[in-house]
């Protein structure tokens, strides 16, 4: 069995899937979305290609931080440059001496539906392939992972749920949907609800992509390259702060390019390598529809939902994030009973929440370490 494996999970009328997994314990859950589990009957729970099947991928790390062929769960959305990532996107926090030291903590991660690795428009057969894939919300992802943890892995409690960006959205949803399941949550560069300005931005990205005639309403015969490039440029315009661009901080990373024109072309053509258009659109819809206030029984009242959070929250917005503005974070933090608002002092915008610079990484590790130590004492 390889360190990363794939298991299709059949949809049934009851929504349940039977996997024989031994009970286990765990301490930290990181927000991503994928699962890889060894399975006695082989790597598939249902025949490969079964209509309506889903699959989740992932990795588990041993005490030295090395992948091992056991089981995993991750929950994440973007890498430090704000692109859709795989399950290895928490390197800025994971490792000996870092906040999430695998010699001391058991770590579980997962990847979102629609990222191209978990069940997505691009890898799901008909009748749900491409544009026919159902829109999945943040709450759908959280509920799926919760069922896997509790019903299949028999994990009844975790130390903390941690997430960046859409992973932060998941962390808030965990705290509202399952208020007693963890001892605390950490949310970096992400909010409990996507507000109007963010929805307009996301719809702008979708409009840029779908304007490409090659898109063909999602049934494209070849990738709509021009549309994806337009999508990427819109995305890049919001990724970093205005001051980041004015000070030309891109010069600190040679991979971006040596001149402004090279940087712009880099983001246009290489921002999201290999991205599938329908996957991108699903991710945008998942993002824009997020609202913990829509969780029963809050009936759209986000303030009431935030007041319901029982556990301590380490809320770490980036000071210059244009995706999740600092004003949104301050507004939400006022309603969370046990909230520590630790603003990341960075010009790197959204990716500051993923430790894109050494200073950002140190700020995150210091605060997350202190937070975990605090909740461990309680």
Give me the CATH number covering residue 143: 3.40.50.1820
**What is the rounded distance in angstroms from the CA atom of residue 276 to the CA atom of residue 35?**
21
pLDDT of residue 376: 86
Which region, left, alpha or beta, applies to residue 111 given φ > 0 means left and ψ of -120 to 50 means alpha? Answer: beta
Sign of CA dihedral 362, 366, 145, 179: negative
Co-location of 180 and 310 in the same domain:
yes
pLDDT of residue 32: 41
**What is the rounded distance in angstroms from the CA atom of residue 84 to the CA atom of residue 271?**
10
pLDDT of residue 42: 39
Most confident range, picked from 31-45, 90-104, 300-314: 300-314
The whole-number average pLDDT for the span 97-120 is: 87
Co-location of 186 and 273 in the same domain:
no
pLDDT digits (tens, 9 = 90+) for 192-227: 999 999 999 999 999 999 999 999 999 999 999 999
First CA to last CA distance, the chain? 39
> Which of 236, 258, 288 marks a domain boundary?
288
pLDDT of residue 372: 94
Co-location of 280 and 324 in the same domain:
no
Co-location of 114 and 225 in the same domain:
no
Co-location of 358 and 218 in the same domain:
no
**What is the rounded distance in angstroms from the CA atom of residue 34 to the CA atom of residue 7?**
10
The whole-number average pLDDT for the span 50-71 is: 51
Co-location of 204 and 281 in the same domain:
yes
pLDDT band at 309 (very low <50, low <70, confident <90, very high): very high
pLDDT of residue 80: 42
Co-location of 129 and 230 in the same domain:
no
Parallel/antiparallel/unpaired status of strands 107-109 and 54-58:
unpaired
| CATH number, domain with residue 248 | 1.10.1740.110
Least confident of 64-68, 255-259, 337-341, 357-361: 64-68
Co-location of 163 and 228 in the same domain:
no
Nearest to 318 by CA among 306, 331, 327, 308: 327
pLDDT band at 52 (very low <50, low <70, confident <90, very high): low
> Taking 90 as the threshold, does the pLDDT of residue 310 lie above it?
yes
pLDDT of residue 66: 60
DSSP state of 73: E
- Within 8 A by CB and 6+ apart from 375, the residues are 159, 160, 183, 184, 311, 312
**What is the rounded distance in angstroms from the CA atom of residue 191 to the CA atom of residue 220?**
33
Q: Which domain holds residue 112?
A: 5-193+290-377
Co-location of 315 and 366 in the same domain:
yes
pLDDT band at 378 (very low <50, low <70, confident <90, very high): confident
> Taking 60 as the threshold, does the pLDDT of residue 45 lie above it?
no
C-alpha of 141 from chain center: 10
How many folded domains does the chain comprise? 2
Co-location of 103 and 179 in the same domain:
yes
pLDDT of residue 117: 84
Co-location of 245 and 325 in the same domain:
no
pLDDT digits (tens, 9 = 90+) for 230-268: 999 999 999 999 999 999 999 999 999 999 999 999 999
> Taking 90 as the threshold, does the pLDDT of residue 73 lie above it?
no
Tokens linked to 334: 């006022």
Co-location of 53 and 179 in the same domain:
yes
pLDDT band at 51 (very low <50, low <70, confident <90, very high): low
Mean pLDDT of the residues in the chain: 82
DSSP state of 149: I
């Amino acid at each position: 069995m390889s360190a990363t494996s794939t298991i299709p999970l059949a949809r049934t009328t009851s929504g349940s899937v039977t996997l024989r997994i031994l009970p286990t314990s765990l301490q930290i859950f990181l927000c991503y979305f994928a699962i890889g589990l060894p399975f006695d009957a082989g790597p598939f729970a249902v025949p490969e290609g079964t209509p309506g099947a889903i699959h989740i991928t992932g990795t588990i790390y041993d005490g030295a931080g090395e992948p091992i062929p056991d089981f995993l769960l991750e929950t994440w959305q973007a890498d430090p440059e704000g692109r859709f990532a795989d399950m290895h996107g928490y390197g800025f926090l994971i490792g000996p001496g870092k906040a999430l030291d695998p010699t001391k903590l058991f770590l579980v991660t997962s990847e979102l539906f629609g990222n191209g690795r978990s069940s997505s428009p691009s890898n799901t057969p008909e009748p749900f392939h491409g544009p026919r894939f159902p829109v999945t919300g943040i709450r759908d992802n959280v509920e799926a992972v919760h069922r896997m943890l509790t019903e299949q892995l028999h994990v009844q409690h975790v130390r903390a749920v941690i997430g960046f960006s859409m992973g932060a959205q998941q962390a808030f949803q965990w705290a509202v949907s399952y208020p007693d399941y963890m001892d605390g949550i950490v949310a970096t560069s992400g909010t409990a609800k996507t507000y109007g300005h963010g929805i307009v931005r996301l719809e702008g990205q979708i409009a840029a992509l779908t304007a490409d005639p090659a898109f063909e309403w999602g049934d494209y015969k070849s990738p709509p390259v021009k549309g994806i490039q337009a999508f990427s440029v819109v995305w890049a315009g919001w990724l970093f702060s205005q001051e980041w661009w004015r000070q030309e901080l891109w010069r600190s990373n040679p991979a971006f390019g040596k001149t402004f024109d090279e940087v712009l072309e880099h983001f246009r053509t290489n921002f999201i390598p290999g991205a599938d258009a329908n996957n991108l659109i699903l991710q945008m819809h998942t993002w824009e529809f997020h609202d913990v206030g829509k969780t029963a029984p809050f009936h759209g009242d986000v303030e009431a939902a935030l007041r319901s959070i029982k556990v301590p929250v380490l809320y770490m917005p980036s000071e210059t994030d244009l995706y999740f503005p600092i004003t949104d974070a301050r507004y939400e933090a006022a309603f969370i009973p046990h909230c520590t608002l630790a603003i990341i002092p960075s010009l790197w915008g959204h990716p500051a929440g993923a430790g894109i610079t050494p200073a950002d990484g140190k700020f995150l590790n210091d605060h997350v370490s202190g937070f975990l130590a605090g909740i461990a004492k309680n």
